[in-house]
Structure 1
Amino acid sequence: MAIEIEKSFDVPQTVDEVWGFLTDPERIVECLPGATLIEAVDERTYRGEIGLKLGPIGTRFLGEIRFDELDARRHHMKMTGEGRDRRGSGN
């Protein structure tokens, strides 16, 4: 199942500062409660883990994200990601 997320909003920083932040997984992971960056597979692929909880039910997912497109001149990126429940019972 593919999900496309598109959102825009203003921030009080320069475009280059925001671009640098959004393309740095070590900084982004700090904004995701329960997330941990495990390793950089290569310069565009990263593995991590995130915990999710819905009411009394919680689980942790191991996953991978990849920057498929990075165009700093146009400030455009495209990412794909996938993950799996640590216990192997869902994705």
Structure 2
Amino acid sequence: MAMTMNGSVRLGAGREAVWAKLNDPAVLKACIPGCEELEQTEDGGFRATAKIKVGPVSARFKGRVALSDLDPPNGYRITGVGEGGIAGFAKGGAVVVLQEDGDGTVLTYDVEAQIGGKIAQLGQRLINGSAKKIADEFFDNFAKAVSEDRRPPTA
């Protein structure tokens, strides 16, 4: 089953700071819903394990993500594949673009993915709704992580 999703979010930090956070495994691990492990690989990509629930199906996905078309601090392409055992698989990619917007940055994303296995049998509406919820949660978490650097230090 094919799935597409796109959107944008305004973040309260400069493009360089957002770029740095987008490439920080500790920040990404804290922001990705259900992420249990995330480590950078020698080739500049990431290896991850995440527990994800879509409707009645809950699965632990293990996968690899590669970054390409790197254009610091303007954006990149992400491609990846994840295996969830009997629950199924997901593979696809996204283009991420960062644009300055006053004292902030607008992050725009365009995702294309293929989903198969038990999860794909749940139907397009349930999968799209779950994917949007996960994306919204990630961007809420990421916006908080980015804005934490802008707070004055506490005494």
Alpha-carbon distance change, 25 to 3 in structure 1, aligned in 2, over 3 angstroms: farther
CA RMSD across the alignment: 2.1
Equivalent pair of 1:50/1:61 in contact (CA under 8 Å): yes
The yes-or-no answer on 1:66 pairing with 2:66 is: yes
CA distance in 2, matches of 1:66, 1:11: 24
Per-residue CA deviation, residues 2-60 of structure 1 (Å, 9 max, x unaligned), is 65544222221111111111122321121112102343321412111111113443111
Alpha-carbon distance change, 4 to 68 in structure 1, aligned in 2, over 3 angstroms: farther
Q: Name the structure 2 match of 1:46.
A: 46
Alpha-carbon distance change, 37 to 2 in structure 1, aligned in 2, over 3 angstroms: farther
| Over 6 Å off, 4+ runs | none
1:1-91 pair list within 5 angstroms? 5-73=5-73, 75-85=74-84, 88-89=85-86, 90-91=88-89
Equivalent pair of 2:48/2:62 in contact (CA under 8 Å): yes
TM-score w.r.t. the length of structure 1 is 0.78
Question: Please, which runs of 5 or more residues in structure 1 have no aligned partner?
Answer: none
Alpha-carbon distance change, 23 to 53 in structure 1, aligned in 2, over 3 angstroms: same
- Secondary structure of 1:80 counterpart: strand
Identical-residue share of aligned pairs (%)? 30
Query: Which is richer in helix?
Result: 2
Count of aligned positions: 88
- Aligned amino acid, residue 14 of structure 1: G
- Aligned amino acid, residue 42 of structure 1: E
Q: Which has the higher contact order (CA 8 A, sep 6+)?
A: 2
- Secondary structure of 1:13 counterpart: coil
Higher gyration radius (CA): 2
